[in-house]
Amino acid sequence: MAWTGGLLLVWTIALEPFDPIRNNMTSDEFSFILLGLFEVFAGVLLLTSAAPILVSKIGRSQFFTKRWGPVLPVALAHPLATPVRTAVVMGMFSITVFSVIVLGGYTEQFDNYSSSFVEDTEGEFELMLTASRSRPLELSSDPLEWNLSTQLERDIDAVGKVYRSEVFLEDDLEERMPYILRGFDDGFAMHGGLPLHLWDESLGDTAEEAWISIGNRDDIVLVDASFGLELSTDGTGISSMSFSIGDSISLIDLSNPGNSRNVVVGGFLEQSSYLFSPGVWINSEIAVEQFDARLTRMYVSLSDDSQPSDDFDSSDVQTLSAAGKTAELRIASAELAEHLEEKLNDEGATVSIISDDVILIQSLVIAILGIFEGYLALGLIVGIAGIGVVTVRSVSERRRTIGILRALGYRRKMVTATFLIEVSWVGILGILNGVLVAIGFHYSLYRAFWEDQGADFTLPWASIVSILIGGWVLILLATVIPIRSASKVPPSAALRDI
């Protein structure tokens, strides 16, 4: 078993660059899960057979025998004599812990990766007014004409209008797909628009200059990140179409295919744009006049020195510091949002704090992952309860053996120590094997899926430490009753079956 486990570990780790099987496999979720299970299985085989022999030899050394006597070799003799049962129990712990750590690591990695979503989605704006194409917004670009009952209307330093339509996108291969066309006005561009991931440097040195340049052109567009991102699994694009800067796109009217316009890709929005701001972004005049775009979004920005009213209740306001914005600015934005809701309530428009919308979606994803992680942790607790049942059965089966040990001079404390070492050995090694394999597996996932997205490598250290320490404590609690029962077995138990 030790040789089998060792060879499996060498195959899964050291021989990866030379393995013809894995070189021909697609690096997707299924292949990673399969590889992880192989590594867990290999670790269990190696620890079940080789580790007890090594530790047992150490336990026979003069240093340990003077202090503990034969407790350590005797404690590890039973796991070594029943390798199948030991491997099953150890494997149960390893797989459960492996799953908990991997899922916790994925949650931690997503939290780290999505930490920039707020900044990428709102830019220099704080609020967004939205409406449908059937009932578009009808507000002036001058906030003083909105007749708001708050002094914060004078602190509004920018209003950006974004119009929406739907068109067919056609690439050089004459493949088509329906997509959103968004037209932005000068107010949106002059305030920096939304953060760009990449753009044609001839359009400007900064993202704001690129937005302004495209706003003055009718032949260049910006596209969301779905047209440039590739899946790490097989290299295909997130969208059915992929573009590069300088590629040509035909915008075709859905209702009138004869109405079309050829444009060139000038840049890409940040990576979160395909979730929160999908679309092809173009000069608003073209979108409105040629493709009948309607005003469905208005971005609102407050000046950096805006202050909320003294009587405004800010207890429910999230004052995160994304994009370097102060808590006072966040609170003032929430107050302005309330006044805008009162103004637009009867017009079918919705007022939202952009950062809150992004955080809500991010929190939902993390919460769902947390629920799965909780269920897996519950499975670990059930497994720990199972080792208590196994220990009860083991004590019942070994009463005669315990009686013989007592007759040979084993004291009750030595019996207790023997069983504590035995259950701790099986449980802790199973947990430790799952943790170590999960860390290596999580790093492989990071290299395959997250590194190219610019995310930093993070580990769920809190989960790892709590599982190691908490798991061991729960194992001791689950086995304390059968271990105490074992320590009470009298020497005469050795003679009862004779």
Give the pLDDT band of residue 250 (cuts 50, 70, 90). Answer: very high
pLDDT score recorded for residue 233: 45
pLDDT digits (tens, 9 = 90+) for 168-188: 999 988 899 999 999 999 999
Query: H-helix or E-strand containing 186?
Result: helix 186-190
Quote the mean pLDDT of the chain. 81
Domain shared by 179 and 292, yes or no:
yes
Confidence (pLDDT) at 19: 55
- Among the residue ranges 152-156, 203-207, 308-312, the one predicted with the least confidence is 308-312
Strands (E) located in 65-153: 127-130
Give the model confidence (pLDDT) of 339-357 as tens digits. Answer: 888 887 777 788 998 888 8
Q: Which one of 288, 303, 318 terminates a domain?
A: 303
Q: Which of the 8 DSSP states describes residue 487?
A: H
Q: Does 122 map to a domain? A: no
Instruction: Count other Cβ atoms within 10 Å, centred on residue 180.
Output: 17
Higher pLDDT residue, 389 or 254? Answer: 254
C-alpha dist (Å) from residue 479 to 70, 224, 377, 489 = 22, 57, 19, 16
**In this predicted structure, what is the pLDDT of residue 475?**
87
**How are beta strands 280-283 and 176-184 bridged, if at all?**
parallel
Q: Which domain holds residue 169?
A: 132-303
Instruction: Specify if 409 maps to a domain.
Output: yes
pLDDT, residue 54, reads 63
Contact in structure between 292 and 165 (CB atoms under 8 Å): yes
Lowest average pLDDT, out of 129-143, 296-310, 342-356, goes to 342-356
Stated as kind and residue range, the H or E segment containing 113 is helix 83-113
Cβ atoms within 10 Å of 461's Cβ, excluding its own: 10
* pLDDT in the model for residue 375: 80
- One domain for residues 159 and 252: yes
Residue range 289-304: average pLDDT?
94
> How many whole angstroms separate alpha carbon 449 and alpha carbon 426?
34
End-to-end CA distance of the chain: 35
Cα dihedral: 7, 8, 10, 13 (round 10): 180
* Residue 32 or 148, more confident: 148
Whether residues 93 and 181 fall in one domain: no
Query: For position 36, what pLDDT does the model report?
Result: 67
Of residues 392 and 129, more confidence is placed in: 129
Q: Which of 282, 303, 324 finishes a domain?
A: 303
Cα distance between residue 471 and residue 465, in whole Å: 9
The model's pTM: 0.72
Is 56 buried (19+), middle (13-18) or exposed (0-12) by CB count in 10 A?
middle
Q: Which residue shows structure tokens 């059930």? A: 382
> Using CA atoms, how far apart are residues 263 and 250, in angstroms rounded to an integer?
6
pLDDT of 39 over the 80 cut: no
